Structure 1
Amino acid sequence: MCRPEHFDVSYVINPWMDPSKPVDTALALLQWEALYSLYRSLGHRVDLVNPVPGLPDMVFSANGATVVDGKVLGARFRNVQRAAEAPAHQAWYRANGFTEIRDPLHVNEGEGDFAVTRSWILAGRGFRCTPEGHQEAQEFFGRPVIGLELVDPRFYHLDTALCVLDGDEIMYYPQAFTPGSREVLARLFPDALLVDQQDADVLGLNAVSDGLNVVLPEAAQKLAGQLRTRGFRTHGTDLSELLKGGGSVKCCTQELRF
């Protein structure tokens, strides 16, 4: 994770961002601290990457890399405003004992567009990540990568429209995808939890699950009830200030898989 010490909305690279709306950085920091403390209370170790002045979106650390089997595929951002985040994240991995680190040739924005299940790596495209980035991930990780086309600019990253719950169990918002991608998801995940527009519109799918506990935006009330019916424990949290930048729980959380 990365503290939002420099968080602001000073440019527009997704539909959630509006520089005319004031940002309360102190409130964003308080909300982030609550998420950080929640993870620790659930028994998770949380490592921190240092925030860099001039990089207001660095709080969205999920975009910094994808880590599978201890191998690190770095990010290559589409937008110039975020480009300098990639080397900052790679420097953290090098300093913390990771040895297999790839500086990508093609655009990918880390776990924004890569979701790792037991059997596959699901990969979003259409707004940020590219098909070439998908191929690069498959070659590097040696796992099958399933490309999924996003069609709604509000759901510009896969992690705004889909979340891995446990193993090959997922939840997603069907209308964020093309018809063909919806068919692929239905074939691969016939028992997936389908989320409605109301919960998708508050970025309810921008959640993190450890297989039992699901941390999600507190506004996604119906979704929380659906998850509890499936046996998950839900933990709602308020990241409304960070939502002004187009991110929530998952965007703030990079998962390290060994």
Structure 2
Amino acid sequence: MTLGAGVRRARARRYLMCRPTYFDVRYAINPWMDPRQPVNTDRACAQWETLRALYRDLGHTVELIDPLPSLPDMVYAANGGLVVGGRALGVRFRHPERSGEQEPYLRRLARLASGGVYRPTLVNEGEGDFLPVGGMILAGTGFRSERAAHAEVARILCRPVHSLTLVDPRFYHLDTALCVFDDDLVAYLPAAFDDAGRGLIAALFPAAIRVSEADAVAFGLNAVSDGRHVVLAAAAEGFAAELRHRGFEPIGIEFDELRRGGGGIKCATLEIRS
């Protein structure tokens, strides 16, 4: 039975974003990156501006961090930190190519997070691998964030953390394989997780949406929900249909140029949770 749209309630959010002024693919640190293929930076900026305007039209606040020419991946703001309850945790990247982003994001979060900012000691890649759901945090490992970092996140942010192991290198961050909609509903690609991870997701979220590989490869799961509207890749049509069935309002946009760097809509969006 299709849920009525009135069942879902949007909540105003606060996001941090970084314009892809210097976006490029200069190296390969995930399977999506190919430095031999030219990047259309103007197109990436136009798609990003569409996303920022959409967030504002939906009633959300968009904060900005200045892009730096030496950091082509800085547009992926979700990897820049994790903010829960006004408290921010910085990041420590696995690959040295992105380590220059750590300090700029730490400084920016220090101005945005009312509860202070904390520097991590272990490898964690922010909201790329740590997704708050209700009173808990789902944490990814396997390719980027260290499993030991999960305990550090739990201690600093004072939330229980549930570990999930990723097994498909195409879905190297948790936010490429799992999407959070509200306090008790997620969507995920089962094949992206090991047996224990699939079992844990099923136990925690019995009504979870299982997404097809085709929609996941289109970065459909790298989406942003405000509780009612879900902004997602336009190509993830099957996923969008299921969201409508569940009472959400999916909004598909083109964001494929940023996918050349291995990121999508959620990667470009860091939520500042007060």
Place the TM-score, normalised by the shorter chain, in its bin. over 0.9
Q: Gaps (5+ residues) in structure 1?
A: none
The answer to whether 1:227 aligns with 2:235 is: no
Matches within 5 A, 1:48-197: 48-96=64-112, 98-197=114-213
- Which amino acid letter does the alignment assign opposite residue 150 of structure 1? L
Match of residue 59 from structure 2: 43
Q: Gaps (5+ residues) in structure 2?
A: 1-16
Q: Which runs of 4+ in 1 moved over 2 A?
A: 94-99
Q: Which TM-score applies when normalising by structure 1?
A: 0.98
SS in 2 for 1:108: coil
Displacement of 1:207: 0.2
Following the alignment from structure 1 to structure 2, what is the Cα–Cα distance between the partners of residues 97 and 256?
A: 7
Root-mean-square deviation over aligned CA pairs: 0.8
SS in 2 for 1:164: strand
Match of residue 33 from structure 1: 49
Displacement of 1:99: 4.5
Once the two structures are superposed, what CA deviation does each residue of 1:17-72 show, in whole Å capped at 9, x if it has no partner? Answer: 00011000011000100000010110101000000111000000000000000000
Following the alignment from structure 2 to structure 1, what is the Cα–Cα distance between the partners of residues 42 and 256?
A: 13
Percent identity among equivalent residues? 52
Following the alignment from structure 1 to structure 2, what is the Cα–Cα distance between the partners of residues 198 and 162?
A: 14
- Which amino acid letter does the alignment assign opposite residue 125 of structure 1? T
Q: Which TM-score applies when normalising by structure 2?
A: 0.93
Contact 1:119–1:168 at 8 Å: present in 2 too?
A: no
Bigger RCO of structures 1 and 2 (CA < 8 A, at least 6 apart): 2
Question: How many pairs are equivalent?
Answer: 258
Contact 2:110–2:116 at 8 Å: present in 1 too?
A: no
- Matching residue within 225, 233, 257 for 1:209: 225
The answer to whether 1:200 aligns with 2:208 is: no
Following the alignment from structure 1 to structure 2, what is the Cα–Cα distance between the partners of residues 68 and 128?
A: 21
The answer to whether 1:257 aligns with 2:270 is: no
